[in-house]
Amino acid sequence: MKRIISLWILVFFLLGCSKKFIDLTPISNSNIEGFYKSEGDFTNAIVGAYATLRSGGVYSDNVQLVGDLRSDNTEMGTTAASRFDYYNMSLFRLSTDNAITESIWNNHYVGVVRVNQILDRIDKLDADESFKGRIKGEAKFLRALFYFNLVRIFGDVPLVTKVLNTIEESYATGRTPKSEIYKQIVDDLKDASQHLPVSVTKEEGRATKGAALSLLGKVYLTIPDFQNAKAVLEEVINMNQYQLLPDYTSLWKVANKNSKESIFEVQFKREASGGTGSSFCERYTPYLYPYLSYYSTSGGFNIPTEDLIAAYEPNDLRRNASLKESYIAPDGTLVTGLQGRFCIKYYDIPVSGQGSNDNWPVIRYADVLLMYAESLNEISFVPNGPAFVYLNMIRSRAGLPEKSTNNPDTDLSIDTQDQFRKAVWQERRVELAFEGHRWFDLVRTGQAVTVLSSMKGIDIKDYQLVLPIPQSQVDINPEIKQNPGY
């Protein structure tokens, strides 16, 4: 059997990168021991860590596909052999040996290795404390984000917070209980929020205090810890750094990347040479894309379901800003049905070999407002209380009437805590559609098995709420056991 090299020992740690954060272009490999000598070295190192976010298995494609395809929002538009793992993932039939989980696991741990190397060495640097604090804050923010994805996708995973120097150390690293992983994530984000700047200028893509607190709020909501979620999300709101753009459609224009609504985006930039264009957009096109033959073999991954389309209220402006249900093919044919539906949020047309200019929105302000409303309601339902204000801010932008207690229109009346709970879940579904949140929302709110068994017509089991650990990791490390059921 071919030997599999342990990931976080022999992985390439650092791809040296340009200091321009919107253009995170790798330029060379660097010798680790002789590298960390100056502020410039650490700046390049943290850029290398950010660059991991653009990897396959992170936000180039697979994380958002888990968040969408496993849900009731999207489905596969084709069963082509090149997409068979994705098809199986959407139908909860993934084997332990598949390219999706392998890519997610490997590339997230590449990111973990990179930030651990930085954190291991930053205190030894003779430099201004504010510089060192910011680098540490960014590294801890990234580590928290990597582990938040890992723990939600796989459950218990190896928690590595130091540099592992020997293969023996690696083989002795087993899976860590989720509770301990969440504690580390919380600790990292709390510390990061103390060191990160409130805002950045001409450094789009770097983490800020608001990004750390917003992610922390999402973590607390997932645990769940509604009191702490409320506190940190309230802090984000009171920073007055973010606002909803007036027009939902404008959110998705390339010209509005890193807008006032954006809290943290993964940066992509298409260039003819040395660019870092995004490829995730092809996952949201129809199988036969109407503009480029390049996509006749690349689209069809992530098609809106009829169930999602029906979830939009009449006159909801977000529907036409998010999806189309048909298109005219190059030969003039009107394509409808499954292969005619597609998401239009990521609509910057890619160039073959260069990708697209679309960024990936990890957290935006609308998400924060809805999480805050949810937290307020879970703590205590207050008729026409503050939670309604934040829920209705989202609805108003979408062109929808406000909801209230004792509303004469029963469709708009929210009179109990459970009714509000369901209303905010509904808003999250349509507001954040195609942004990789829906599956994780269904899991954290305990709806996944019931909702998806009914919608997909299959008998989903509780063990399928996490994905299988890559078989390669189980084979090489005796301390890593497979998730039950796989």
Mean pLDDT of all residues in 79-86: 74
Task: Round to whole Å and give the CA distance between 369 and 354.
Answer: 35
In angstroms, rounded to a whole number, what is the distance separating the alpha carbons of residues 361 and 376? 25
Dihedral angle, C-alpha 252, 256, 261, 262, nearest 10 °? 90
Q: What is the predicted pLDDT for the residue at 33? A: 66
Helices assigned H by DSSP within 11-128: 39-51, 62-69, 84-90, 99-121
Q: Which domains does the chain have, with CATH numbers?
A: 1-181+446-477 (1.25.40.390), 280-344 (no CATH)
Instruction: Report the pLDDT value the prediction gives residue 299, as an integer from 0 to 100.
Output: 63
Q: Quote the Cα angle for 470-476-478, to 5°.
A: 100
Mean pLDDT for the stretch of residues 253-262: 95
For 266-285, the pLDDT digits (tens) are: 999 876 555 677 778 777 87
Three-class SS of residue 399?
Answer: coil
Residue with more model confidence, 173 or 193: 193
More confident residue, 76 or 293: 76
Q: What is the structure's pLDDT at 9?
A: 31
Average pLDDT value for residue range 312-327: 95
The reported pLDDT for the residue numbered 328 is 80
Residue 278 amino acid letter: S
H or E stretch covering 373:
helix 365-379
Share of the chain above pLDDT 90, in %: 73
Pairwise CA distance, residues 102 & 93, whole Å: 16
Average pLDDT over residues 90-97: 94
Q: Residues 141-169: pLDDT tens digits?
A: 999 999 999 999 999 999 999 998 877 78
Mean pLDDT of the chain: 88
**pTM of the entire structure?**
0.91
For 399, phi and psi rounded to 5 degrees?
80, 20
Does residue 290 have a cis peptide bond before it, meaning omega lies within 30 degrees of 0?
no
pLDDT score for 23: 27
Q: How far is CA 151 from CA 157, 233, 481, in A?
A: 6, 22, 15
Nearest to 443 by CA among 33, 92, 181: 92
Give the residue-averaged pLDDT of 178-190: 99
At residue 434, does pLDDT exceed 60?
Answer: yes
pLDDT at residue 11 is higher than 60: no
Most confident of 84-88, 303-307, 346-350, 400-404: 400-404
State mean pLDDT over 167-183: 91
Question: Can you tell me the mean pLDDT for 195-219?
Answer: 97
**Higher pLDDT among residues 22 and 437, named by residue:** 437
Residue 352 is predicted with a pLDDT of: 58
